[in-house]
Amino acid sequence: MDIIEYRNHDRILLAVDCIIFGFDGRKLQALCIKRGIDPEKGRWSLMGGFVDCNEDVDTAASRVLKQRTGLADIYMEQLYCFGDVRRDSAGRVVSIAYFSLINIEAYSEQLQDNHEARWFDLEKMPSLIFDHEQMVVIAKKRLREKVATHPIGFALLPEKFTLPQLQNLYEAIYESPLDKRNFARKILSLGILNKLTEKEKQSSRKGAFYYIFDKDKYSALEQEGLKFT
């Protein structure tokens, strides 16, 4: 199948690893899995798997995520290629890392029955295999950069969310507190949130109004490029 000029080159195992971020309302979390194969069997790891010869790398990332967690149709973005010779102790494996954002509650059932997967608070992560800790560091950095200019953070929240919840999310991502008046003004001034009449009443006596993200209004603005926080 391959033509002659390609024949004499090395072929390499290609993997994908997914950093899956979740948000529990207070802290950012990452989903880890107990590794089922040697080497390092039994240690914590990101969701990983190998890329097949006849599938796109992006497709492989989605497939691996689905196989390991049951999750499908979630936000995924390529992060970085990790290609050091010795990154995997058992052989040459180049890994393309992806990161995903999901709403923990909406997917908690799929995850429950499943696959030794567990959420860890980002500040209390276990030791991970290979270079997976480095992947998490880079993913956190990328998430911070991305969320400042794109409305991807909403993927971490339920469809209906309150301003305090949204602010908690940004505070968790930036790891620093925000002024609620400035935050509300800035985020509402973008005009991409729709206020509902319904209130969330669990977390306070007074209750906080729900909002939903208006994808259409955002798309209209998207062209000129915008600032979030």
Partner DNA sequence: CCAAAAGTGTTCCATCTACACCCATGT
Partner DNA sequence: ACATGGGTGTAGATGGAACACTTTTGG
State the residues that interact with DNA by CB under 7 A: 162-164, 179-182, 184-186, 199, 201, 203-209, 227
Pair of tokens at residue 59? 């497709």
Cβ count within 10 A of residue 216: 7
- Give the DSSP per-residue string, 131-195: THHHHHHHHHHHHHHHHTTSGGGGGGS-SSEEHHHHHHHHHHHHTS---HHHHHHHHHHTT-EEE
Question: Alpha carbon 165 to chain centroid distance?
Answer: 18
Tell the smallest beta-carbon distance from residue 146 to DNA (Å). Answer: 17
Question: Alpha carbon 67 to chain centroid distance?
Answer: 16
For DNA, the closer CB: 109 or 145 = 145
Pair of tokens at residue 142? 């990328």
* Partner whose footprint covers residue 5, from DNA, a second copy, none (CB < 5 to 8 Å by kind): a second copy
Regarding 37 and contact with a second copy (CB under 8 A), the answer is yes
| Number of residues this chain uses to bind a second copy (CB under 8 A) | 37
Amino acid at 165: Q
Q: Are the beta carbons of 45 and 126 closer than 8 angstroms?
A: no
* Partner whose footprint covers residue 141, from a second copy, DNA, none (CB < 5 to 8 Å by kind): none
Buried b (16+ CB within 10 A) or exposed e, 124-146: eeeebbbbbeebbebbbebbeeb
Tell the smallest beta-carbon distance from residue 40 to DNA (Å). Answer: 42
* Partner whose footprint covers residue 185, from a second copy, DNA, none (CB < 5 to 8 Å by kind): DNA
Answer for which of 50, 159, 198, 219 binds a second copy (CB under 8 A) is 50
Tell the smallest beta-carbon distance from residue 208 to DNA (Å). Answer: 4
Regarding 81 and contact with a second copy (CB under 8 A), the answer is yes
Catalytic residue among 55, 116, 123, 222: 116
Regarding 12 and contact with a second copy (CB under 8 A), the answer is yes
User: Any catalytic annotation for residue 224?
Assistant: no
Binding site for a second copy (CB under 8 A): 1-6, 9-14, 37-39, 50-58, 60, 78, 80-81, 83-85, 90-94, 96
Question: Which residues are catalytically annotated?
Answer: 116
